[in-house]
Every structure is written in C-alpha cells, then in structure tokens.
Structure 1
C-alpha cells in the first residue's frame, strides 16, 4: 500500500506538476496571445504610419516636381528678362543716337532756314536792283532815242543847209 501511496503521491505530484505546467502553459499562451494582439496592433499602427508616410512622400515628390518646374520657369523668365533688359538698353542707346541725330538735323534745318531767308532777302534786293536798273535802262534808252532823234534832226538840218 505504501507503494500505492507512493505511486499515488507520485501520480499526484505528477498531476500537480502537470497542472502547474498546464497553468504555466496557459499563462504563457495568454501572454503570447496578449503579445500577439499587441504586435498586431503595432503592425496596424505601423501600416497606418506607412500609409501616411507614403502619402506624405507622394505629396513631397509632387511638390519637388512642381518646385523643379517652377525653378525652370524662373530660370527661363530670368533669361528672358536679361534678354529684354539688353534689348531695352540697346533701344535706349538707339533712341539716344536718334535723338542726337534729330537735334543735329533740326539745327542744320534751322541754319538752312536762316540761309534760305537770307538768300530770299538777297534775291528780293537783287530783283529790286534789277527793276531799278531796268527803269534806268529804259530812261537811258529814251534819252538815247531822244538824243539820237535830236542828232538826226541836227544832221538833217546841217544837210539842209
């Protein structure tokens, strides 16, 4: 009986050990399930973070692309602006040259007008002198004609004598 008791105690000890092992296994299982749930929640959280980061990455890539396009446009505008500034400077230089040429031409025109007025006065003066000389010539021709007639009359009178 003692052996039975010993066996019974051994079986009880085995059963207690098995129960203890089962409780430990259940505790470990529960702990593993809790860890699994925690890990699954962490995975979901990380998946959400990944989705948010991917969306943020797409937004940033789009912004970078837009910024590159904007930079290219700025550089194009800058080169266009520089070209236009050079053209404006060239046109301003041409305008200055044209204005100087206009001033020179205006001055020459003014001088030409002054000379033309002077020559017109000279022409009028010469025409007046010509008119006076023509009158004097007519008077002299009349006197000559008179004198010639008198001479002819005198010669005729000498001949008649």
Structure 2
C-alpha cells in the first residue's frame, strides 16, 4: 500500500506538474495568440501602408511620365522657338532690305518727279516759244501775202504804164 500511496503521490505530483505545465502552456498559447494577433494587425497595417505606397509610386511614375513628356515637349518647343527666331531674323533682314530698296526707289521717284517738273517747264517754255514763232510766222505770212499782193498790184500798175 505504501507503494500504491507512493505511486499515487507520484501520480499526483505528475498530475500537478502536468497541470502546471498545462497552465504554463495555455499562458504561452495565449501570449502567442496575442502576439499572433498583434502581428496580424501589423501585417494588415503594413499591407495597407504598402498599398498606399504602391498607389503613391504609381502616381509618381505617372507624374514622371508627364514630366518627361513635358520635357520632350519643352525641347520641341525650344527647337521651334529657335527655328522661328531664325526665321524672324531672316524676315527682319528682308524687311530692312525691302525698306532700303523702298527708300532708294522713293528717292529715284522724287528725282524723276523733279526732272519731270523741269521738263514740263521746258516743254511749256518751248510750247510758248513755238506759239510765238507760229504767231510770228502767221504775221510774216500775212505780211508776205500783203507784200505779194502789193507787188502784184505794183506789177500790174507797171504793166499798165
């Protein structure tokens, strides 16, 4: 019986140890479950944060694409501006040349007008002189005709004598 008592005591001790170990393991399980729950919450939080960051990365990549496109467009615009600047410079040079030619033509036209004025005055003077000569000619023709008539009359009178 002592052996049975001893065995019972041993079994009780083992049961107490098993119960203690069971409680310790339950506490460990509870702690591990809480730790697991905390880690799941952290995982959920990190997943959300990861999604937010991925969305932000996507937005930044889109902005990067837009900025690259804008930079390319800016380069194209600067090329166009250079081309237009050169074209504008050529047009300005052509305009200056045309303005110079216009001034020269205007000067020649003014000189031609002055010459035309002088020539018109000469023509008028020559026409006036011609008119004078014509009137002198007519006077002389009349005098000639009168003298011719007088001569014919004189010849007729001399012929009658």
Scaled by the length of structure 2, the TM-score of the pair is 0.85
1:42-87: CA deviation from partner (whole Å, max 9, x where unpaired):
1111111111112212221222222233223323332332222222
Match of 1:68 in 2: 68
User: CA–CA distance in 2 between the matches of 1:114 and 1:98?
Assistant: 24
Gaps of 5+ in 2: none
Q: Which residue of 1 aligns with 2:37?
A: 37
Deviation at 1:146, TM superposition (A): 3.2
1:22 aligned to 2:1?
no
Distance 2:95 2:89 in 1: 10
Question: What is the CA-CA distance between 1:139 and the residue it aligns to?
Answer: 2.2
2:94 matched residue in structure 1: 94
Cα displacement (A) at 1:33: 0.7
Q: How far is the alpha carbon of 1:157 from its aligned partner?
A: 4.3
| Count of aligned pairs between the two proteins | 161
- Residue aligning to 2:122: 122
Which moves more between the two structures, 56-65 or 124-133?
Answer: 56-65
**Structure 1 unaligned regions, length at least 5:** none
TM-score after normalising by structure 1: 0.85
Aligned twin of 1:50: 50
Deviates more, 1:72-81 or 1:19-28: 72-81
* Cα-to-partner distance string for 1:130-157 (whole Å, 9 max, x where unaligned): 1111122222223333333344444444
Cα distance in structure 1, aligned partners of 2:86 and 2:101? 22
Distance 2:147 2:16 in 1: 187
| 31-40 vs 143-152, greater mean Cα deviation | 143-152
How far apart, in 1, do the equivalents of 2:48 and 2:146 lie? 140
Q: Greater shift after overlay, 39-48 or 131-140?
A: 131-140
How far 1:159 moved relative to its partner?
Answer: 4.2
Secondary structure at the counterpart of residue 35 of structure 1? helix
Partner of 2:138: 138
2:108 maps to 1:111: no
